[in-house]
Structure 1
Amino acid sequence: MSALSASRSILLIIGGGIAAYKCLELIRRLKDRGIAARCILTKAGQEFVTPLAVSSLAGERCFTDLFSLTDEADIGHIALSRSTDLLVVAPATADLIAKMANGLANDLASTALLATDKRVLIAPAMNPRMWQHPATRRNMAQLEKDGVLVVGPNSGAMAERGESGPGRMAEPPEIIAAIELALAGEAANPQRAIGFLGRLPSAADTPGPLAGQHVLVTSGPTHEAIDPVRYIANRSSGKQGHAIAAAAAAAGARVTLVSGPVALPDPEGVETVHVESARDMLAAVEAALPAQIAIFTAAVADWRVATEAPEKMKKDGGALPPLALVENPDILATIARRTDGRPDLVIGFAAETENVVAHAQAKLARKGCDLIVANDVGGTGVMGGDANTVHLVTPEGVESWPTLAKSEVATRLVGHLARLAPKRPAA
């Protein structure tokens, strides 16, 4: 089976930067996910990776020359730029960005970009001073206006000795997450097209992949009062749940975020409901229904005290005060088992310290939800940290993701759910 017989495909344009080597891993990871990559390698890109290496991983020849008689006879550059679902430029050098912003077409890569009628995603990569130069900022502003999608760049050490700052190309898992979200958006709006003198659509022109959906997200811990000054809680920071709510909003959904006590700002474009206890959270969740997708990220306290003391409990040198505990309502199971108004997709989170996947599989069966996102929080710095390593557990199997920033986990998860959710017309 040829690479292009896969259900989804991209045209990958590899620019001339040291980050070009990452594209070899990107091609391999895309193939693992059922996404075929047809490749254009620029002349500068050939200084860092070879056409042979690219074609070996892609499973077909790598295109390099605008004036190749053989390539043009087989598939012309116009067809090359349109016989795909998405164009991806990685690394997107300052030169390629300038050509795109100004409509130049003097090689195969820039000509394909100008001739395409498909959406374009770029992964910028360059020296920090080049990235921050006024000319690059102007060019990026123009591309944003034209509707070009962007992933990265990240900050960090550069190839040049002593250089550091923004300009590192996004890592392959981050680029794949952006690709999947972009492909989900195209699937949600397959009739999108531009005219000969048109422009690539902006986000305002094209409905996101979750347009028409109401997404309900819970986030943070709950606080279960012992007395007016003490409480039982979990260590959740809310970073993952808030990132998921923001990603869902960016994908076009109407989002309701039910948040326990966190030290985070409310995400923009999201209706946020603040609660304290598990019972408060369940009431807010039920009030927010109906929803098409419900994502239960919150670390809800499993227990609360049977009787909350009306005044602060004092140490008086006597016996320790009794703390009789009772179970809190199981919010995930309550919503997953609803017979009336159950969301189309119910997603739970499982924070485990051992046997992560096995415990998540048991939780999936016990709770009645559609998918569990499991992660290991045993001494890994996940609670309160900015990165996460998750496993998607369904009745069909387990999909393990590499360690990603929580924002990238959110983007990738939203893209995954957008493909699973029944499509609804944009409001």
Structure 2
Amino acid sequence: MLHAKRILLGITGSIAAYKAALLVRLLVKAGAEVQVIMTEAAGEFITPLTLSTLSKRPVLSSFVGNPAEGTWNNHVELGLWADALVIAPASAHTLARCAFGLCNDLLSAVYLSAKCPVFFAPAMDLDMYRHPSTLHNIDRLASYGNHIIRAEHGELASGLVGEGRLAEPETIVEQLTHFFNQRGALVGRRVLITAGPTQEPIDPVRYISNHSTGKMGYAIARAFAMAGADVTLVSGPTALPLPHPAVRRVPVRSAAEMFRATEAEFEQADLLILNAAVADYTPAHPAHQKIKKKEAEFSLELTKTVDIAATLGARKRPGQLMMGFALETENEQENALGKLQRKNLDWIVLNSLRDAGAGFGHDTNKITVMDRGGNVRVFDLKTKEEVAEDLLTLVKEKLANP
């Protein structure tokens, strides 16, 4: 999958820069076109001559090309040329500059101009990698839709042993290959995803809601967008950034708004993933003014909201797929299977609040997936990004074997 792919390889000032020679060699061997961009500090660790020989292209390190001819290295054109930008090794300094949009050299200018996917492979000493500033910068870069190839555990240049080692060149190539394999899997497919909580107004100040953060739904949206799908994300109120630049987000607040937005997109969708934690009940008569605290007791009349999964499941056309989620606290599989059947779903993804690290608010999740064919798949506790990849794999398998 790397054949004829155009890879910009950014090399920064880290002792791990010596591994860039093998990385270039592996990429070229896989059929990729590689253009190396070095920072000034990177030249202290590996020579441009080595990398230009391996890549068969002149190494770029400054905006000025040939001063005598008045040529320059156009960062915008480079950003448009590439199918992927890989910054490996990415030093703590480069991570910080990119995270905050600082632009004082060719590599950072190319990063800010890049239209392609961007991969950061951090490399630094143990304590630098663990420092809250570095971790914050990595999280910030990931929140922009960039891909992080995590540093590995091992012996470091300082003699310490721990996390901070540049991922091996073979691992970086493997992750790039996986990315491009996944990227085209759902090209042309329209995927509609709901995520986050809903807020049901009591009065202009108060509302009924739940603990959903939207993290799982946003991770799913990102995974499917990276697989090439045309993703629409109907999102309840969250503090999360757009999961991927290609995702079209439709913000809503209440269960009624979520139903209307989802219904409007449903007919054109090839796949509907209902991950949102939608309120089952909403106040029957929301007050137009703030309710004052007067009585010792206060009762609130509630009415059922529209069951989005059941309503749209009844309208599902042949070939259209639907995946629902069930968060249970007892009789988990029995309750989830009942939802699968009643709502005409193709899959039901079960979460149990009895599983440590799963459910609302966590960065991890543990799921069991049941389908209409009676298959049950139990997954280990994973990050929500990994869970999203597992769900993507299930959908790809279904599309390959209808």
* TM interval, short-chain normalised: 0.5 to 0.7
Question: What is the letter of the counterpart of residue 249 of structure 2?
Answer: T
CA contact (8 A) 2:357 2:366 kept: no
Question: What is the letter of the counterpart of residue 252 of structure 1?
Answer: G
Question: What is the letter of the counterpart of residue 164 of structure 1?
Answer: E
Indicate which of 355, 373, 377 corresponds to 1:399: 377
Shift of 1:256: 0.7
In 2, Cα distance between equivalents of 1:178 and 1:361: 37
- Counterpart in the other structure of 2:335: 359
Shift of 1:389: 0.9
The correspondence of residues 169-318 of structure 1 with structure 2, limited to 5 A, is: 208-267=184-243, 268-289=245-266, 290-316=268-294, 318=295
In 2, Cα distance between equivalents of 1:167 and 1:385: 27
CA contact (8 A) 1:375 1:391 kept: yes
CA contact (8 A) 1:222 1:261 kept: yes
Count the aligned residue pairs.
Answer: 287
TM-score (norm 2): 0.60
Indicate which of 385, 388, 392 corresponds to 1:414: 392
Shift of 1:377: 2.6
CA distance 1:344–1:164, change in 2 (3 Å): same
Report Cα offsets for 1:383-410 as digits up to 9, x if no partner.
1111111111113221111211111211
Question: What is the letter of the counterpart of residue 99 of structure 1?
Answer: L
In 1, Cα distance between equivalents of 2:166 and 2:318: 45
The correspondence of residues 53-72 of structure 1 with structure 2, limited to 5 A, is: none
Report Cα offsets for 1:196-222 as digits up to 9, x if no partner.
xxxxxxxxxxxx111111110000000
Shift of 1:330: 0.7
Question: What is the letter of the counterpart of residue 274 of structure 1?
Answer: P
Question: What is the letter of the counterpart of residue 282 of structure 1?
Answer: F
CA contact (8 A) 1:244 1:407 kept: yes
- Counterpart in the other structure of 2:111: none
Question: What is the letter of the counterpart of residue 308 of structure 1?
Answer: P
Structure 1: where are the runs of 5+ without partners?
Answer: 1-92, 104-109, 120-129, 186-207
CA contact (8 A) 1:184 1:419 kept: no
In 2, Cα distance between equivalents of 1:309 and 1:99: 67
SS at match of 1:402: coil
Shift of 1:184: 5.8
TM-score (norm 1): 0.57
Shift of 1:416: 2.3
SS at match of 1:313: coil
In 2, Cα distance between equivalents of 1:228 and 1:349: 30
In 1, Cα distance between equivalents of 2:328 and 2:223: 24
Indicate which of 282, 296, 306 corresponds to 1:329: 306
Indicate which of 390, 398, 413 corresponds to 2:367: 390
In 2, Cα distance between equivalents of 1:419 and 1:181: 17
Indicate which of 22, 26, 36 corresponds to 1:99: 22
In 2, Cα distance between equivalents of 1:308 and 1:361: 35
- Counterpart in the other structure of 2:164: 165
- Counterpart in the other structure of 1:50: none
Question: What is the letter of the counterpart of residue 204 of structure 2?
Answer: P
CA contact (8 A) 2:366 2:381 kept: yes
CA contact (8 A) 2:357 2:381 kept: no
CA distance 1:322–1:296, change in 2 (3 Å): same
Shift of 1:298: 0.2
Shift of 1:358: 2.7
CA contact (8 A) 1:304 1:327 kept: yes
SS at match of 1:209: coil
CA contact (8 A) 1:388 1:404 kept: yes
CA contact (8 A) 1:184 1:415 kept: no
In 2, Cα distance between equivalents of 1:219 and 1:370: 18
Percent identity for Structure 1 against Structure 2: 36
